[in-house]
Structures are given as structure tokens and as C-alpha cells.
Structure 1
């Protein structure tokens, strides 16, 4: 298991965005979600934090459009926490763990849910699976609605929908490719080159802890791309 997400991190986190009071229209106004927002904001660089919030806004809209139970007040808190934590494996607290970055994020999310008295094991499991599989093409899209939407939203934010299994619906594609929607959320939570920040973080972890980057995993493929061209300074070619 990864180190507890509550472990203190360095007091300096380069690139962290300036704090803002979470507006009620963005963060469900309950302790679980307010705490998740604050914790992720403090422990991830701004490019990855902003990406995580944009993923939430996409996933929330997908759930609402599908009239899913995930859009109801009770389950939205789980959806919110899963989205915010989906890249927490890239935080400093996960650096020395041998677990994959996806598993570290999933473990951190489960720990946060338990700490806030989420006792429904099924909800915790749903969140864990959505995070652990969000880099697993062809599996995340089919294992559960939440896992599907987290993966689709992350891909959409990285302009990666072209790699999605053709099972994506017209309604999902319409929302995820809506330029007005994208411009609105990116104005509030700017991109700040998240591909570079996340790719570098995951690759550096894999180089330091090879067990974090099994050969066929996303991290492993990026580590291999870096090793093949170590002088490359742009976004990892396998991102």
C-alpha cells in the first residue's frame, strides 16, 4: 500500500496555484469534498491539480447528461473525490512507494473516504477501481460507469479521445468535444501544460522505483521512451 495521503509533504510545491475559496457551485459543500479539494490542491502542482478539477467537471456533466445515480447528491461526493484524487499518485508522498502511480492515487482516495466516515464498501471500491484503471484502455471504459467517465474525461482533457474504444456514445462525444464547455473550464482552471507535468512526474517515479513502472504499464512505456531519448525535453513521447 502507498504511504498515507496525510503524510506531510515539502512546504514548497513548485507550480502550486494560489489558493481560492472553493465556490459552492464547484465543490459540494460537505466536509468530505471540501477536505478533498484542499488536500489535493496542497499536494499536487497546479497543472495536475487543474487537470483533476477539469476531469471532475467533465465527469459530473457526463453523469448528469446520462441521468445517472452518480449525479445525485449522495453519490456525487464519491464521484468528486475520485476525480480529484485520480492523479494523486503523482504527489510527493507517493515517490518512495513501489506501487504504481494509479494504485497510489486509488489508495489515497480510499483512505480519504474512510477518514470521512464513508462506510459503504461498494462506493469506496467504485472510486478505487475508477482511479486504478484510468490508464487501462478497453477495461476502464467497460468495467463501470464511473471508471468509464473518469477515463473518458482524462482523455478528453488531454485531446486523446481518438484512442478510445469506438463504444463511446454520440452524447458523450458531443459533450467531451464541446469547445465552449472546454474554454469555460480552462479559463477558470488553466491548462499550464499538464501533459509535461504529469508525464515527467510519473516517469521520474518509474526511474527511481522500477516496480512503479511495469513494462506494459503506462508508466513503463513512458520510462522506456525516456530511456530511448534521454535528451528530449518536451512532453514524454509516449504520453
Structure 2
């Protein structure tokens, strides 16, 4: 771990065990992204006046960041969207580590909500800063000004390794193998649609699938003509 000595992250037994676990199952590009997510999330918290272990639980933030893309690993690749698969893998792993159910629930929420910015940002810092940190690492629409040389120092220890491209290809590869992992109108679904040039069903088509309630039967006949 000498390469990470200069990085400010918690060194508790659970934190270190999780670091070793995630590094062993994830593509290096995704692992480095997860570590940077924590560093950027912590930085963004400081910009808001939030101090680790005063205003939020630093270990929980670290665990959520490290595990937030674990659903993109072979071990985490289940039958749900990758964010939910990762949340469930985190639950299993942290429970085996003896983490209390209350703390595991915070990590589960942080991972499961990290694709839902507007919701995550209304939650406690241990959840919100996972989403914020991941967004900054992948290209925030309105990024803050980082201190001079900060990103260079982070990338020297945690090189990008084509992170955005690797994340995209891993999400799409999982979904092409298991299409139910990329439902219409979800982020994975949109990436698959872009890759395959496929089309999504319309609202009306979705509402007239098997077990629909025939809400459109005769409806169009009673609507005003343009």
C-alpha cells in the first residue's frame, strides 16, 4: 500500500479489507475511479464546510465510494442493474466483515442511489458525496475549481487508465449479455441504445403490454382532432 501512503483515507480494518477486496475484483481503471471518487467527494465536502468524522462518518463515505461500481465486477454481476448489484454485493461483503446493519444500510443507499443525482444530493453526506465525487471524476457539468496541481497529484497515484471508456464498455457488455440489466429509460439502457442504435418502446406501447388494463381502448376515438 506504499503507493497510497500520501492519500487521506481511513485506515480502519474494515476500510483496508474493503480496499483489498475491491482492488482484487475490479478492473484497475474502475478501482482507480472508485478511489478518486472518495478523494473528490471528500474535497467537495470540504468546499461545503464539511469535515470528515465531524460532520459525516469518513469510513462510511470511503466504503460507499470504493464499492459504488462493484456491480461491474465479475463477482458483482448479477441479474439487476449494476448499481443494485453493487449495493447487494456491498451488503454481503460488509456484513461478513461484521459491519452493523445500520451502517451497511447507509452504504447500500449510497451505491443504489449514485446514478440518481437529484435524489442522492438530498441525502446525508455519506450518500451525497459518493454521487458528487463520482460525477466530478467523470466530468461534472459545472466543476469546481480544484487547487493548483491537485488533480495531477491524484492522477499520479491513481492514473485514469481510460476510466470513462472502460466504465462504458463494461456496463454495455454486461447488458448485452443480460438485457434485463439495462431496462428502457435507465442509464445502462441508454448506453445500450446508443451502442446498438436500438429504439425504446413508447409510453403507449409499454402500457399495452401483456397484463395491461386496456386504458387506451377507445381512448383515441374521443380525443379532439388537431
Report TM bin, short chain: 0.7 to 0.9
TM-score (norm 2): 0.78
Contact 1:82 1:130 in 2 (8 A): yes
2:157 paired residue number: 188
How far 1:72 sits from its partner (Å)? 4.4
2:106 paired residue number: 126
2:94 paired residue number: 113
Query: How do 1:155-234 residues align onto structure 2 when only pairs under 5 Å count?
Result: 155-162=135-142, 174=144, 177-178=146-147, 180-228=149-197
Contact 1:98 1:211 in 2 (8 A): yes
1:29 and 2:15 matched? no
Q: More displaced, 105-114 or 215-224?
A: 105-114
Q: Name which one, 1 or 2, has greater alpha-carbon Rg.
A: 2
Contact 1:215 1:221 in 2 (8 A): yes
Q: Which runs of 5+ in 1 are unaligned?
A: 1-18, 163-172, 230-239
Q: 1:226, 1:179 → 2: CA distance?
A: 37
Contact 1:27 1:34 in 2 (8 A): no
Q: CA 1:114–1:67 in structure 2 vs 1: closer, same or farther (change >3 Å)?
A: farther
Contact 1:63 1:71 in 2 (8 A): no
TM-score (norm 1): 0.74
Count residues with an aligned counterpart.
198
Q: 1:159, 1:92 → 2: CA distance?
A: 26
RMSD of equivalent CA atoms: 2.4
Q: Which runs of 5+ in 2 are unaligned?
A: 199-226
1:87 and 2:69 matched? yes
Contact 2:181 2:188 in 1 (8 A): yes
Q: 1:195, 1:73 → 2: CA distance?
A: 31
Q: CA 1:108–1:37 in structure 2 vs 1: closer, same or farther (change >3 Å)?
A: same
Q: 1:105, 1:206 → 2: CA distance?
A: 15
